[in-house]
Each structure stands twice: as C-alpha cells, then as structure tokens.
Structure 1
C-alpha cells in the first residue's frame, strides 16, 4: 500500500478526465504546428479574430500591457515565487514542486516547439506557440488543482474548476497577446493547449516520484528498526 507524505496534486478522481483532455490538447498542438510550420502570415481564423482585437486603444491597451507583463521574466518570477510560497504556507509541498517543474516544463516545451515549428510574426520573431499564454495557463492549472484538493471536489466539479481556471487565465493573456500584435490567435490556442497537455502529465509524475520516495523512506525505517 502506498503511503503519502502529502496530498496528491492530481487527485485520482481527476486523472481520467484530465488525461483525456491532455491527450486532446497535445493533438491540437501538433496539428496546428504542422499547419503553420515555417509560416509567416496569419491564417483565415487569425485574420478574422485579429481584425476585431488587434490594435486596441486606451484604456484597453494599458490593460493588455499590464497583462503582458505577467508573462515577462520579472512578472513571471514574481508570480512563481508568490505561488510557491503560498503552497508551502498551506503545507502543500507537492504543489510547490509542481509549480516549479510544471511551469518550467510548459515554458520549455513551448520554447522548443517555437524552434521546431518555425512560425514567425513581424520581424522574424518565432511565434508558435505563445509562451506567455502557456505560462499563465500552466500556473492557473496548478493553482486550480490545489484548490480542487483543498475543497475536496469530485471528478466533474473538480474538472470544471480546473478547466474554468485555465480558460480564464488563457483567454486573458491570449487577448493581450493578440491585442498587442505579439501573436496570432492560433499561437495563443497552441500555448493554451501546451499547458493543458504538460501540466497533468507533470502532476502525475510528481505524485508518482513522491510516492516512491515515501515508500523507500518507510522501507529504510523498517530495516533500521530490525
């Protein structure tokens, strides 16, 4: 029987649904990456959405700039430190590890995909997928998983909470990126799906490694008592 030193970051009741969502999100990332590989212009969907959102004026532009800062190095580091500190204060060490590992894996995956896909915007800047959107969505997913565990929500309610948090965070940052002309809408969708694909998988790995560590420590303790 597996002993837990701390609550799981990916509750058993959410594993099936979030696993399916992660697989679907990964498929979307791959399909969009293939469609827009080595491209440097907006697609049909990008053009329609971009025409309605791109180039907003004050005060919405100020809101977009403020949102964009959350994905910049200083803003991102501040958010990570704040959330990790909160997890430790709540005695959720696994969630703290997931924030660092999951967000790092998400941003790293997005960065790697940019080089592999080669889609560009403006002066040759790699754009697919949106790293800002991936980062904020990943952070929101981890916080939502923590909230789900704290509230003891079941599969349906927990899954809806996690998806709602991801949607709100991803939509806010995605809007800012498109409004500022930093990304195409499909770049934003790719970033959002990247986080949805990476975080559940990373959460499962964190739980599995933590459980194994607890079991090894328990076995070592039993051997010492003998």
Structure 2
C-alpha cells in the first residue's frame, strides 16, 4: 500500500472507554424503556423537572423553537449536508460515511424503540420514548467530536472529555428545548441521549473495521502476486 492510511473515526485510544460508555448507555435505554412501556403519564422525575422547564415564554420559547427546528426534516438534512461537506473538504471520506450512516442508525433505532416501548405524551397517541430530536443532535455532535479527537491527536483523557462534553452540550440543549415545548418528558430526552451514546461508537467501530479490511485486500493480492512471480 502507498500513501498515508486513512484516519480512524473512532480513535484507538478511546475505544475501551467509549465502548464501556456505549454499553452503559444501552442499559439505561433498556431500563427506561421497560419502566415506561405503554405509559402516557410523567414519572416522578419528569414531573419535578417538567414543572420548572415546561411552558417557557419568549424569548426562551423562540430559542427552543430554533433548536427544535434542527431536529425537523429540513433542519436536520441541512445540518447533515453541511457536516458531510466539511468532512469532504477536509479530505476525510470515512468521517463523511460515519455521519450518513450514524444519523441513519441513530434515527432508525430511536424510531424502532418508540414503536416497541409505546410510551405516549399528552394522551394524543404521539410516541415519545426516546426523543428522536435529542438522539439526532447528540449523535451529530459525537460524529463531529470523534474525528476531531483523532485529527488533533488528543490522548485518552482529553479525547474522552471532548467527546462526552460535545454530546452533553448538544443533548442538554435539544433536551431542554423538547421539554420546554412540551414535546417530550425529561426521561424521553435521557433515553434519546443514551441512544446516541450507544449507537455512534458501535457504528464508528464498524465503519473503521470494514474500511480497514477493504484497504487490506489490495495489499494482500499484491503480495500474493509478488510471491507467485518470484523464481
């Protein structure tokens, strides 16, 4: 093989810690899903937090609506196109693939979980667990932070801190907007945040593994051809 190897979208120094984080997040998603399956009422935590956040007035309601727009079809597609374009301009096609695949996997997982859990809000049949908006924006933040960690050459502590901080800020912002607008319960938001934390590291690992195997095949064929041609 010639040239520099493609940079991994899941930096090796982060694999163990993010793997553990993903496993814990998946456990939280399952526990909350079982706890609130088929329910339509807020839990104790939902009632306490919702009372302080739900029903904000201007100008904070306008901020919440702007954040909510980022999770709607037009807003989310615009964000994804912008991030993918940035990845390609930085000559990181593997990161671009991660964004497209990661968004698809995260949104698909959240949608499937909504159908399986069957939790609704306001008694109008709107499936609420987990929050797809929160899962989407958290996933996008993770998929920006992961390649940035590798590009900046950050170590395990700094890299993990950057990735988790990005996920926390994005998830908290969108989660606040969803609760403030009455679209989700706080536990729906937590479920969406954890969905992204569970899905994105696994997706990034799978993309790296698939891309590395594909890159190794031409080298293996070249080596085999060289051995056959040797006297």
Q: TM-score range by the shorter chain?
A: over 0.9
Which residue of 1 is the match for residue 182 of structure 2? 181
- Counterparts of 2:210 and 2:39, CA distance in 1: 40
Partner of 2:111: 111
Q: Kindly tell me: are residues 39 and 18 of structure 1, through their superposed partners in 2, closer, same or farther at Cα, counting changes over 3 Å?
A: same
CA contact (8 A) 2:135 2:192 kept: yes
TM-score for the superposition, normalised by structure 2:
0.94
Q: Cα RMSD (Å) of the superposition?
A: 1.4
Distance 1:129 1:4, change over 3 A: farther
Per the alignment, in what secondary structure is the counterpart of residue 42 of structure 2? coil
2:156 counterpart residue number = 155
Instruction: Tell me which moved more, 144-153 or 215-224.
Output: 215-224
The 5 A counterparts of 1:92-131 are: 92-122=92-122, 123-131=124-132
Residues 57-111 of structure 1: CA distance to partner in whole angstroms, max 9, x if unpaired? Answer: 0000000000000000010000001000101111111111110111110110000
Measured against aligned partners, the alpha-carbon deviations of 1:123-153 in whole angstroms (never above 9, x if no partner) come to 1100000000000000000100111011100
Supply the distance in 1 between the matched residues of 2:214 and 2:222 (Cα, whole angstroms): 12
**Which stretch has the larger CA shift, 214-223 or 145-154?**
214-223
Tell me by how many angstroms 1:55 deviates: 0.3
Aligned residues: 225
Match of 2:89 in 1: 89
Unaligned runs of 5+ in 2: none
Q: How high is the TM-score relative to the length of structure 1?
A: 0.97
1:224 to partner: Cα distance: 5.4
CA contact (8 A) 1:4 1:214 kept: no
- Contact kept in structure 2, 1:107 and 1:134, CA below 8 Å: yes
User: CA–CA distance in 1 between the matches of 2:4 and 2:107?
Assistant: 29
Q: Which stretches of structure 1, 4 residues or more, deviate above 6 A after TM superposition?
A: none
**CA apart distance, 1:222:** 3.8
Kept in 2, the 8 Å contact 1:46–1:184? The answer is yes
Offset, 1:115 = 0.2
State the distance in 1 between where 2:146 and 2:28 align.
22
Distance 1:86 1:217 in 2: 29
Do the aligned residues in 1 keep the contact of 2:39 with 2:119 (CA within 8 Å)? yes
Larger radius of gyration: 2
Structure 2 Cα separation of the partners of residues 158 and 70 of structure 1: 26
Q: Take 1:12 and 1:64, find their aligned partners in 2: how far apart are those partners?
A: 36
